[in-house]
Structure 1
């Protein structure tokens, strides 16, 4: 009886039911869209951090910045030997640790022994600046003039006058090429700078290649230099063979060349030193506790977590994320409140127009609870229909955002002031230089999770209950006499 009457009454009031359902649907659709975009922002930020941080890395440990000593200079210094030839080719590589700060390799073991640390791996980041070109020696020429007013050459009354000598020709033409090199612990590649890279051509290092002169290069750098697997190149006179080409899992890599750690230490004159220690915690929820543990037990170091680095992300990604989390959240709440109130007012107004109907039902013996159940039932159906429509609209909007994939930029600066990336990782400058910013481009997606769908269903039920409660309360207060007074 209840179901039949419910179906008949909803069929009679299709327009009113549709208006209520649409109001709830728009509010629910907005909530789904905002939640999905916010989730996409979080994923985009994670991609930015992983590209700099290393897959599975929870924090990094670097040396605390120290003031430069008096008279020291972090600027490049190149020396070329003089040669007697008129034209000579010169080439020189300057290799230095990024940020000019390094830690002892023994600290890797100390960090790994701290409470809450699952594993720790050291890496050495280098900046290589290559200058090559040639000098061309100029030639000195003198201008001369003669007069024949008297005797022969060199005699009084005749001779040759010589002007000031002038240098003609000569000059220099040099090319400057800068790139970054990361020394990788080949025995522990699952954590560190190479962990966020995928080998797309060739192969990666083996644990036995600690001293082998081989290299893995990033795809972008290989394309720029036209390197292939088997190509060779030199770093400060040491010849390396390319064994693999790697592509970052997301965005762009800030490191151009990866070589075994021991060779990087030799090239950078940094024996038994590392610039960054990558740390993975046993429990991702206790990262802040592990950070305090390392900071208090190992002096002279700076510990940087992903949360610290996330605070340095700027650009359109940061702006869009702020809008989605703040403006979007409050806008969703405002629209939902308005939708619930409209649904409740429309339901209450509809009950007021059904005075004769509900008064007659009470006169026939319907108790107030049945009348209330009837109104609440109709409101719940409207709410569920609005929820289904809102889910469809919200999922459709999220799909459109994913299909369009708008591009967002992110600039990630250093939290230590020493180098770009994670605590002085790839992208940093030398001593006395300001940290560079890594500009990355991320495609925005809007993933819809089951949690978001469950939230939408809950909102639909809540909206139906709120509207039904107000309408049911109004209907329960009607008396049979009201029906008689409404008869004209």
Structure 2
């Protein structure tokens, strides 16, 4: 009887039921969209931070560069080339020089890794050395001495340095032509491959380092750098006269690699003439909820260092990603709540109004023996079905909107302030000369926004639909429970 009457009443009042369901559907769909976009923002920010941290890395320990003293030129990059005399058989030959310098931060003693590992709450710590390599290749060319017109001599031209008997003339041609190329190198601890920037890349060709290759002349090259320089597995990379065999090609999952070339840590220390030195300690905490206390312990017990967590880096994210995240978390959230509240109120008022128009109906049912609880249950049942219909429509609309956002994948730009995370460019007086345009401006990434819909979001939508139906039914049921059979008789015409 209950379901028969329920089906008949919903069919008879289709327009009113559709209005109530549509209002609830709009509010529920908006909640789904805002929730899914917020989840997409979180994922996008995670990709940005993942490009700075290795998988499982919770924080990094570094030491800021000390500004050079006034007049100190020892930190400036210097390139030395052999002076070749006039009779030198190698005169005019191509010359090459490599400069390898720690990049971004001042070096730390490798024992810092053990100090950090000994702090309470630290699960694991691994050291790494970030380097910048600057290669200069080219040659000097001699010029020719041309006598002035009208002068006589033993020839039309002599080598520079000839006296020419005091005769006038000019030196033409000659000079220097050098090519400058720079790339980044990261020294990885091959015994602990689970931490560090290389973990943000996947090996797409060849293999990664083996635990026993700390002294091996092997390298893993980023795919973009390999393509640019036509490198493949089995090729050789020369750094400061040392040849390293390429054993693997790595592709960064975030689209931006930590370095162009990865070497075993010991090899990188040898190239930079910094034995036993590192630039960064990558730290994994035992409990992700205790990162704050671990940071405080490291700052207290490992002095003169800077501890940076993912939360610290998140505060430096700017650009359209930050703006969109702010809109999703503030304006979008409050807007969805406001629309949902309005939908609940409208549903409740419409249900209550429908009860007012059914006074004679409910009064007659009571006169026939229906209890107030049965009448109230009938009204609540109708409202609950309206809510479920609205929930189904809202879930459909929300999923369609989320799918459209994911399909379009609008691009968001995330800009990290320079100096955050892994430093930008080598230190010292020549740092500015070596930085690329991207590094000097900070780390910038383009992230495609998605709107993932989780099972919990669908569950929330169903709960809201049921809540909307119950609220609307509560309004109407309270009104219906107050009706008396006499009211029906008074309104009979």
- In structure 2, the residue corresponding to 1:88 is in which secondary structure? coil
- In structure 2, the residue corresponding to 1:333 is in which secondary structure? helix
Question: Counterparts of 1:91-110 in structure 2 under 5 Å?
Answer: 91-110=96-115
Q: Shift of the alpha carbon at 1:205?
A: 1.1
Residue 476 of structure 2, aligned match among 468, 471, 478: 471
Structure 2 unaligned segments of length 5 or more: list them. 153-164, 433-438
Q: Distance in 1 between matches of 2:261 and 2:336?
A: 47
- In structure 2, the residue corresponding to 1:442 is in which secondary structure? strand
Task: Tell me the equivalent position of 1:17.
Answer: 17
- Aligned partners of 2:61 and 2:280 also within 8 Å: yes
Q: Shift of the alpha carbon at 1:340?
A: 0.9
Structure 1 unaligned segments of length 5 or more: list them. 148-160
Residue 331 of structure 2, aligned match among 324, 327, 331: 327
1:39-68 superposed Cα distances (whole Å, 9 cap, x missing partner): 111111111211221111011111144333
1:332-384 superposed Cα distances (whole Å, 9 cap, x missing partner): 11110111111111111111111111121222222222221111111111111
Q: Shift of the alpha carbon at 1:198?
A: 1.1
Task: Tell me the equivalent position of 1:70.
Answer: 70
Residue 124 of structure 2, aligned match among 104, 114, 119: 119
- Aligned partners of 2:101 and 2:426 also within 8 Å: no
1:154-205 superposed Cα distances (whole Å, 9 cap, x missing partner): xxxxxxx987432211232222111110001111111112122211111111
Whether 1:377 aligns to 2:381 is: yes
- Aligned partners of 1:302 and 1:423 also within 8 Å: no
1:283-321 superposed Cα distances (whole Å, 9 cap, x missing partner): 111000100011101101111101111111122222211
Q: Distance in 1 between matches of 2:255 and 2:194?
A: 19
Whether 1:354 aligns to 2:358 is: yes
Change (3 A) 1:12 1:307: same
Residue 316 of structure 2, aligned match among 305, 312, 319: 312
- In structure 2, the residue corresponding to 1:52 is in which secondary structure? coil
Q: Shift of the alpha carbon at 1:11?
A: 1.2
Whether 1:430 aligns to 2:431 is: no
Task: Tell me the equivalent position of 1:134.
Answer: 139
TM-score between both structures, scaled by the size of structure 2: 0.91
Q: Distance in 2 between matches of 1:399 and 1:146?
A: 85
Q: Distance in 2 between matches of 1:66 and 1:146?
A: 61
Q: Distance in 2 between matches of 1:486 and 1:84?
A: 122
Which piece of structure 1 moves more, 287-296 or 188-197?
188-197
Task: Tell me the equivalent position of 1:294.
Answer: 298
- Aligned partners of 1:47 and 1:251 also within 8 Å: no
Question: Counterparts of 1:67-216 in structure 2 under 5 Å?
Answer: 67-73=67-73, 74-84=75-85, 87-145=92-150, 164-216=168-220
Task: Tell me the equivalent position of 2:415.
Answer: 411
Task: Tell me the equivalent position of 1:303.
Answer: 307
Q: Report how many aligned residue pairs link the two structures.
A: 469
- Aligned partners of 1:40 and 1:446 also within 8 Å: yes
- In structure 2, the residue corresponding to 1:53 is in which secondary structure? coil
TM-score between both structures, scaled by the size of structure 1: 0.92
- Aligned partners of 1:144 and 1:162 also within 8 Å: no
- In structure 2, the residue corresponding to 1:190 is in which secondary structure? coil
- Aligned partners of 1:210 and 1:260 also within 8 Å: yes
- In structure 1, the residue corresponding to 2:51 is in which secondary structure? helix
Q: Distance in 2 between matches of 1:450 and 1:173?
A: 63
Q: Distance in 1 between matches of 2:104 and 2:258?
A: 15
Which piece of structure 1 moves more, 282-291 or 133-142?
133-142
Q: Shift of the alpha carbon at 1:479?
A: 2.4
- Aligned partners of 1:143 and 1:162 also within 8 Å: no
Q: Distance in 1 between matches of 2:95 and 2:151?
A: 43
Question: Counterparts of 1:25-36 in structure 2 under 5 Å?
Answer: 25-36=25-36
Q: Distance in 2 between matches of 1:38 and 1:67?
A: 41
Q: Distance in 2 between matches of 1:21 and 1:306?
A: 43
Q: Distance in 2 between matches of 1:175 and 1:333?
A: 61
Task: Tell me the equivalent position of 1:268.
Answer: 272
Task: Tell me the equivalent position of 2:436.
Answer: none
- In structure 1, the residue corresponding to 2:135 is in which secondary structure? strand
1:135-167 superposed Cα distances (whole Å, 9 cap, x missing partner): 2222222214279xxxxxxxxxxxxx9874322
Which piece of structure 1 moves more, 65-74 or 444-453?
65-74
1:406-457 superposed Cα distances (whole Å, 9 cap, x missing partner): 222222234xx3xx5x243xx4342355763122222222111111111111
- In structure 1, the residue corresponding to 2:66 is in which secondary structure? coil
Q: Distance in 1 between matches of 2:325 and 2:85?
A: 63
Task: Tell me the equivalent position of 1:390.
Answer: 394
Change (3 A) 1:146 1:31: closer
- In structure 1, the residue corresponding to 2:254 is in which secondary structure? coil
Q: Shift of the alpha carbon at 1:253?
A: 0.7
Change (3 A) 1:445 1:100: closer
